[in-house]
Structure 1
């Protein structure tokens, strides 16, 4: 028998209650390096709440979270980020008055563990800027490097958020509806960037998404949440063919699921 791989991230009986309502209820699942999993479900299914539990924005009522062999259930969001869990949000989290390059350089600097004093060291500053420039090239943002982030169209702001996340070099990438609010023309660029990240088989990518074309294009695996519970987990074609999944999506895009 082959050796069982340690999951890069896993949740064990993860639950959070708000009053008497369980927004996430007893969710146990594990994710491996080199795997892109899309978490789907109707509005209110608990997808973003589960994401918030994994990335540390919320603390669970019950259950545990592990990164590798290490339990991280009580770690803060910032401590999890330092441990290699990178989270991109539905709304962009940028420094609007700084340039694109400066935004990414700050992310590079944070990864290097250097505070503001690093900016007084010319060599450090050059190294940070060079690494930031490489990230901008990888994310197709070099042409707007010296524009303030606030001047970018929405699609480029989302690209910048991906660039800042990539600059932190996490082991786990978490994207919450990365194409939300983007035009039909803009969305493929973000999907291409995520597909590029997927080529690194040491990374684990978790993606909350409701657009079925995005799911089909990227998913190695689909996890379905409904009313806070995990109701399906497996290969995309198998999951989308399940009666319970088709039932959940009736009235909210069942024709897309077919």
Structure 2
């Protein structure tokens, strides 16, 4: 009997007026698997993420965590149940330092509250944890910089550090390398690969860069006009006529477009 998926959506749908942004999408996601969600601009990828993580309320359908219906739960309640989300746009405390941002996430995960000054100086284990996360995203040398003053690429790396600090069961990355230089991208890709390699985490990735998708994904699902149009192993999905036309802009025979 198949194991209960970590995450599942059943006929998940949202309408904005007469527009159906996500149309009855049903998918199940297992631990140890990285699923890339691709599709043209406006396909519904980020909206689907927002429905899963609770930023948007579904018009109909369900979101299940480990078989339990969480469709009515808030985003923060879903986070407490092990769902982690890194946003396409950075979601930081801009007036705090890099270290303060990470230490708050570490303290929260450890159940030590969100005090900026209390407890922290006495918890060397939490300090070491925060420093190790900053080192992992190559920001340790900027630990005292103000988060809002960081270049966009560094803000994205800090956001990944915050997500890692929460130690979720489900990692959701929305274009994690957007705005990064070519030199910065490998740091994030290596981190995502290491999360996947653990084998006990479920990873979802919205990504436009097909080289990133090919290097990381075990599975690709394709959204087009809000509907699920392809789902399977990367090579087969990328080669399918519907993806060649809808996503890559190629004719159905797969030859280069004129």
Partner residue of 1:198? Answer: 196
Q: 1:119–1:125: 8 Å Cα contact kept in structure 2? A: no
Per-residue deviation at 1:187?
2.1
Deviation at 1:188, TM superposition (A): 2.3
RMSD of the alignment, in Å?
Answer: 2.1
Between the two proteins, the alignment pairs up a number of residues equal to 255
179-188 or 196-205, which deviates more: 179-188
CA displacement at 1:128 relative to structure 2? 2.4
Paired position in structure 2 for 1:153 = 151
Q: Distance between the aligned counterparts of 2:123 and 2:176, measured in 1? A: 31
Residue 27 (1) aligns with residue 22 (2): no
Match of 2:108 among 104, 110, 116: 110
Instruction: Flag the 1:231–1:105 CA change in 2: closer, same or farther, 3 A.
Output: same
Residue 187 (structure 2) pairs with residue 189 (structure 1)? yes
- Residue pairs, 1:233-248, within 5 angstroms: 233-248=231-246
Contact 2:33–2:202 at 8 Å: present in 1 too? Answer: yes
What is the CA–CA distance in structure 1 between the aligned matches of 2:98 and 2:54, rounded to whole Å?
Answer: 27
| Cα distance, 1:144–1:89 mapped onto 2, change above 3 Å | same
Structure 1 position 53 matched with structure 2 position 57? no
For residue 11 of structure 2, the aligned residue among 10, 13, 18 is 13
Q: Once superposed, which parts of structure 1, at least 4 consecutive aligned residues long, lie more than 6 Å away?
A: 252-257
Q: Give the Cα–Cα distance (whole angstroms) in 2 for the partners of residues 246 and 201 of structure 1.
A: 31
Partner residue in 1 for 2:221: 223
Larger mean Cα displacement after TM superposition, 122-131 or 100-109: 122-131
Aligned partners of 1:122, 1:169: CA distance in 2, in Å? 19
Structure 2: gaps spanning 5 or more residues: none
Equivalent position of 1:120 in the other structure? 118
Give ranges in structure 1 of 5+ residues lacking alignment.
Answer: none
Q: Separation in 2 of the partners of 1:178 and 1:118?
A: 27
Contact in 1 for aligned 2:43/2:224 (Cα 8 Å): yes
Give the distance between the partners of 2:194 and 2:114, measured in 1 at CA. 31
Q: 1:256 to 1:105 in 2, by over 3 A?
A: farther
Tell whether the 8 Å contact from 1:42 to 1:252 is kept in structure 2 after alignment. Answer: no
TM-score (norm 2): 0.92
- CA displacement at 1:80 relative to structure 2: 0.6
Query: Structure 2 residue aligned with 1:142, among 115, 126, 140?
Result: 140
Deviating more after overlay: 160-169 vs 122-131: 122-131
